[in-house]
Structure 1
């Protein structure tokens, strides 16, 4: 045997004996602290399923993680987060849920009504809790009972629109307007609920609602052209199909000098004139706190009624107002949560 090989063997034997003398198993290099950290990092695994790609839903996801962190659950420390986006496709939404179930997640966060419906449909058989957010009408979506109590291991937060406040704001901004157009997807129950509420309240403010139903994204260009010929302004909902095409709608409306009102801050950032809207980061935080209670075993999803975010604030875009030749009322701008002076970047 060569001298160099003998030296290597003796060194290996010495290392093994040293490890045994110190109480460590031969070949163990991981420290107790590192092992503990690894175990801590895998304490909980959650799946975040988002139905579509747009600002308000992105803000929900951001807020959800912040809410969990505030309750001591942080990604990379004691939380593993899986994230997938359905890109507004129902079939993909179901696949995402099945993927999370196969990976045995401890909880699924479903963002937007179609995603929440897909998540609950799949997860209830596996007894995995679902926490939803950005669901306008949980009862109409069969995700809660009419009294707000859960239908199973599912709960969350609603982004119910402040319809009366929105109509009051539109009347202040456009004192002579008569017809408000609303584009919406007939496949989204959240939009059907919002349309019904707008139609019931519109007369109190001297408005008529003109509906623009669509069945798919491909229908939106023609539907937008048609409805813009009949109305004084458009009012955008949180309809996932329509919001995904909002830049196209804004461009068409701008060419006809017709204002478009949004329903939350991200829509105002990208070109809607104004909104009495919700803060979706706050909505997400509220949801994250609920999810943390379920994950930590403090309660079950089936023991928590869904919650509704109550605060709505004015958001305005002075750049858009200037382009349309509209003066936003001072009482609104003075009380605004945010005013924007740009469109694409949403610069304050």
Structure 2
């Protein structure tokens, strides 16, 4: 009952803040505070809530997601303390951070990106979890269905129109024959988009070749191996690849 009341109060706060929530290794050394947002919201008195923010990796798009969430909560006028944590792209760090939030008995967890969301969902079935930057929550095992999530997880999906992107690629590069698809094997969202992209390539008469990395450290060498073997490179919505390429 206590958990239900806590969920109701924070859910109301999120709606007040104008958010559209739809169904959708090492510890200390790799766990660092995420940059930017304030740690405590403006307060009008009353109970203070604690929200644990678990961000997979530092990247402009994810940073903006983080800031947008914090700004919206701050605008609600509730008294909220944010525990900002960044996993630096490490799945083991995601698990450690999620367990920390559970042990701290946070009122809500905001998980940014699929691996972060999966770690949070695995750590608790009681604390409400809001997810963002997740391509397909249902396919990632986070919710029962995207239309009726059930359980303690809800949030938004960032699935891109993969088929339309491949169609556009064909229009822009009509002489292309082979498409190299670069993705990270540790991201469930990328595995889903990989299959969608391969099917779209087949329908366009293109040959799709898979190129995978397990971490950002492998991006440069794998990308170099694609040169001369593919005509164009397609990258799905993949946080590890996006963060690695920018550096």
1:57: which partner in 2? Answer: 62
**Cα displacement (A) at 1:150:** 2.0
2:109: which partner in 1? Answer: 108
After superposition, what is the alpha-carbon deviation per residue over 1:70-103, rounded to whole angstroms, capped at 9, x for unaligned?
xx525xx522222110001111111211222233
User: 1:189, 1:119 → 2: CA distance?
Assistant: 15
Secondary structure, counterpart of 2:127 in structure 1: coil
TM-score for the superposition, normalised by structure 1? 0.55
- Cα distance change of structure 1 residues 115 and 147 upon mapping to structure 2, 3 Å threshold: closer
- Cα distance change of structure 1 residues 147 and 216 upon mapping to structure 2, 3 Å threshold: closer
**Cα displacement (A) at 1:41:** 7.1
Matches within 5 A, 1:139-158: 139-146=138-145, 148-158=147-157
After superposition, what is the alpha-carbon deviation per residue over 1:277-334, rounded to whole angstroms, capped at 9, x for unaligned?
xxxxxxxxxxxxxxxxxxxxxxxxxxxxxxxxxxxxxxxxxxxxxxxxxxxxxxxxxx
Higher helix share: 1
After superposition, what is the alpha-carbon deviation per residue over 1:89-119, rounded to whole angstroms, capped at 9, x for unaligned?
1111112112222332211010000000110
2:177: which partner in 1? Answer: 178
1:220: which partner in 2? Answer: 219
RMSD of aligned C-alpha atoms? 2.2
What is the aligned length? 206
1:73 paired with 2:73, answer: no
Structure 1 stretches (4+) deviating beyond 6 angstroms? Answer: none
User: 1:137, 1:147 → 2: CA distance?
Assistant: 8
Aligned residues of 1:210 and 1:227 also touching (Cα < 8 A): no
Secondary structure, counterpart of 1:134 in structure 2: strand
TM-score for the superposition, normalised by structure 2? 0.75
Secondary structure, counterpart of 2:183 in structure 1: strand
User: 2:182, 2:43 → 1: CA distance?
Assistant: 49
Q: Which has the greater radius of gyration?
A: 1
2:118: which partner in 1? Answer: 117
User: 2:143, 2:80 → 1: CA distance?
Assistant: 28
Secondary structure, counterpart of 2:229 in structure 1: coil
Secondary structure, counterpart of 1:40 in structure 2: coil
Secondary structure, counterpart of 1:62 in structure 2: helix
Aligned residues of 1:138 and 1:144 also touching (Cα < 8 A): yes
Aligned residues of 1:137 and 1:158 also touching (Cα < 8 A): yes
1:93: which partner in 2? Answer: 94
